[in-house]
Chains A and B, each alone.
Chain A
Amino acid sequence: MNSVETKDVHLYYGDFHALKGITMAMKKNQVTAFIGPSGCGKSTYLRCFNRMNDLIDGVRIEGDILIDGVDIYKTNIQVDDLRKHVGMVFQKPNPFPKSIFENVAYGLRVNGTKDKKFIEERVERSLHQAALWDEVKDKLKKSAFELSGGQQQRLCIARALAIEPSVLLMDEPTSALDPLSTAKTEELIHQLKENYTIVIVTHNMQQAGRVSDHTAFFYLGELVEYAKTKTLFTNPKDQRTQNYITGRFG
C-alpha cells in the first residue's frame, strides 16, 4: 500500500523551476531515502508532503500529492490537520525552550488535548519510542536545552511521535550529530518503521544504504532513479546515478 504518492509534481520558486515533474510512490511502513547533491530538490520535495513550502513566499506547486489517498493540496484541507498526520524532524535539533516534558506534550496541547493523564502516558510512550526515556525519566522537568545534541534530536523525534503521525519526514536528521548519536538515531529509524512510514533525506550514502528499503536519486530537480536500495547501489541503471554513488560528482 502506498502512503505517499505524487503525480507529476512541479515546484517553482518564483521563476526557478526547482522540481520537474516528479512521480513516485512511497510504501507504507517502509523507509524511503532521498539522495542527491546539494540543491537537487530533495529537501524541497520532502517539504511538499507537509506543506512546509507554504511558508515561503513565491512558491508555486503543480501536480497531485496524495497522503494515504488524500490530495493534500485540495482547498478543503486544513494544513494543521495535515501536519498532525505528517510529522517532521529537522536537520538541526530544534527543541523549544521548555522542559523536556513540555516539549513532547506541545503537539498534544496545541491540538486540543487537555486530559492530564493521557498526556503523561503519551509523553512517556513517545520518549520510550524515541529511545530516550531511560536517559531523561528523572529530569522531565529540566530544560530541554540541558540535553546533548543527540538527545535533543531524539527529543524532537519523540515530540513528532507524540501526536501519532502516520508518516514521518526526516530532513537530514543526523547531519548535526556525532557518530555515536547518528548510530543511535539510525537504529531508532529501524524500529520506528514498524509503525510509521518514514521518508528521509540524507547526504550520506552509507546512511541511505543502512536505513532505507528504497532509495530515490535526485539531480537538478528531476527524479533520476528510484529503486530498492540494494539494487540502486549495486546495479544503478542511469549513468548519473552511477557517477554519483561512485563519488565522481556531488
Chain B
Amino acid sequence: MAFGTTSSQHKSKKRSQSAAFFIFRLLSFSVVAILIVILGFILIQGISVISWDFLTEMPREGMTAGGIYPAIIGTLCLVAGSMIFAFPIGILSGIYINEYAKDSWFKRFIKLMTNNLAGVPSIVFGLFGMTLFVNQFGFGDSILAGSLTLGLLALPVVIRTTEEALKSIDDSFRIGSLALGATKWQTTSRVVLPMAFPNIITGLILSIGRVSGETAPILFTVAAYFLPKLPNSIFDQVMALPYHLYVISTSGTNIEASRAMAYGTAFVLIMIVLLANLLANWLRRYFGKKVKMN
C-alpha cells in the first residue's frame, strides 16, 4: 500500500479520533456553558435594579428599596483587611518553606498542616474567629475580627500559591547566583522572587476572589444584618455583599419585594470576583513581560 491512500483501518482510526475529540470538545464547552447560563440568569433577573443609585445608595424600606452601597464598601474593607494579614504572612511562609526549610519532618509537618488548613470548612473558621477574635481578644463584631478570620481562610491559598510559584523556578538560576558569591537572601530576593512574582500575584488575586465571596466566616465575626451607614473604624461592624445576599433572600422583611435586589447583589458580587480574575490575568502577563526585560 502506498502512502496517501486511505485504507479501511486508517478510516476507522480517524473516526474514533474525531469521536473522542468531539466528546472532549463537548464536555469542555459544557463547562463554559454552565458559567454563561449562571451569569446570564443572574444578569437577566437582576439587571432591572442595577443602576448608579443601586451601587451608591443606602438600603431603604426594610431593604426592599435603595441600594447596596454599605455592603460593597463593607466587602472591600474586609478584602483589604484580610489581605493585609494574609499576604505578608503567607508569602513569607511560602518563601521559608520552599527556599529555606531543609527537607525534614518539620517542613513536612508545616506542609501537611497548611494543606489541612485549606480543607477546614469555612463555617469552622467563622466559629473559631468568633471565639478567639470577637470574644477572647475582645474585638467584638468588627472589621478587625472579620478580616483576621478571612485572612486565616486565605492563608493556605497564599502559602501554596507562593510555594508553587517558587518551585517552578529552575534550580540552575539559584545555583548560578550562589556561584557568583551571592548570599541565599540575595539569590532569593534578586533572582528567584522577581521570576516567581507574576505567578505569586495571580494566586493572591485569586485568593481575593475567594475571600470576597465567603459568607460563613463573617457571619459571627463582623457582618451586620442591616446597618445603613459606613464604618468609622476597624472596630465597627459592616454589611457585606454575600451576607446581604443571604439576608434579603431568606430572612428579609419582604422577600418577594427584594427578589430583584438579591439578583442585583449577586451580580455585583460576581462582577467583583470576575474583575479580580481579569486583573490577575492582566498583571501576570504584564509582569511576565517585564521580568524578562530586566
Contacts and interface: CB of A to CB of B under 8 A. Distances in A.
A97 B180 contact: no
A214 interface: no
Contact of A83 (B179, B293, B294): B179
Given A57-B103, A97-B291, A97-B292, A111 B181 contact: yes
Contacts of B194: 97
Contacts of A55: 175, 178
A83 B180 CA distance: 6
A94 B191 CA distance: 12
Interface in A79-131: 80-84, 87-88, 90, 92, 94-99, 102, 106-107, 109-111
A235 to B, nearest CB: 36
A87 B176 contact: no
A106 B291 contact: no
A52 B179 contact: yes
Interface in B81-107: 102-103
A159 B180 contact: yes
Interface in B268-294: 291-294
Interface stretch (B133-141, B182-190, B208-216): B182-190
Contact of A110 (B103, B173, B181): B181
Residue with the greatest number of chain A CB neighbours at <10 A, chosen from B103, B179, B182, B186:
B179
Given A80-B182, A90-B172, A110-B186, A96 B177 contact: yes
Residue with the greatest number of chain A CB neighbours at <10 A, chosen from B170, B181, B186, B191:
B181
A110 B179 contact: no
Interface in A162-182: 163
Nearest to A160: B180
B245 interface: no
A40 interface: no
Interface residues of A, number: 31
Contacts of A109: 190
Contacts of B181: 80-84, 107, 110-111, 163
Nearest to A54: B178
A95 B173 CA distance: 7
Interface string A61-87: 000000000000000000011111001
A107 B177 CA distance: 8
B155 interface: no
Give the secondary structure class of B's interface: helix
B294 A98 contact: yes
A50 interface: yes
Contacts of A2: none
Contacts of A106: 177, 180, 182, 190
B293 to A, nearest CB: 6
Contacts of B103: 57
B199 to A, nearest CB: 13
A144 to B, nearest CB: 9
A63 B283 CA distance: 52
A82 B191 CA distance: 21
B175 A99 contact: no
Contacts of B102: 57
A145 B173 CA distance: 13
B151 to A, nearest CB: 32
A189 interface: no
A97 B175 contact: no
Interface in A132-161: 143, 145, 156, 159-160
Contacts of A80: 181-183
Nearest to A91: B172
Given A97-B292, A99-B293, A143-B293, A87 B175 contact: no
Contact of B294 (A50, A84, A102): A102
A87 B176 CA distance: 10
Contact of B179 (A50, A102, A143): A50
B175 A52 contact: yes
A99 B291 CA distance: 10
B205 interface: no
Given A110-B190, A145-B292, A94 B180 contact: no
Nearest to B187: A110
19 contacts: A52-B178, A55-B175, A55-B178, A57-B103, A81-B181, A82-B181, A83-B179, A83-B180, A84-B181, A88-B179, A96-B176, A96-B177, A97-B173, A97-B194, A97-B292, A99-B293, A102-B294, A111-B181, A163-B180
The 9 closest A-B pairs by CB, nearest first: A84-B181, A107-B180, A110-B182, A94-B172, A94-B176, A88-B179, A83-B181, A80-B181, A110-B186
Interface of A: 50, 52, 55, 57, 80-84, 87-88, 90, 92, 94-99, 102, 106-107, 109-111, 143, 145, 156, 159-160, 163
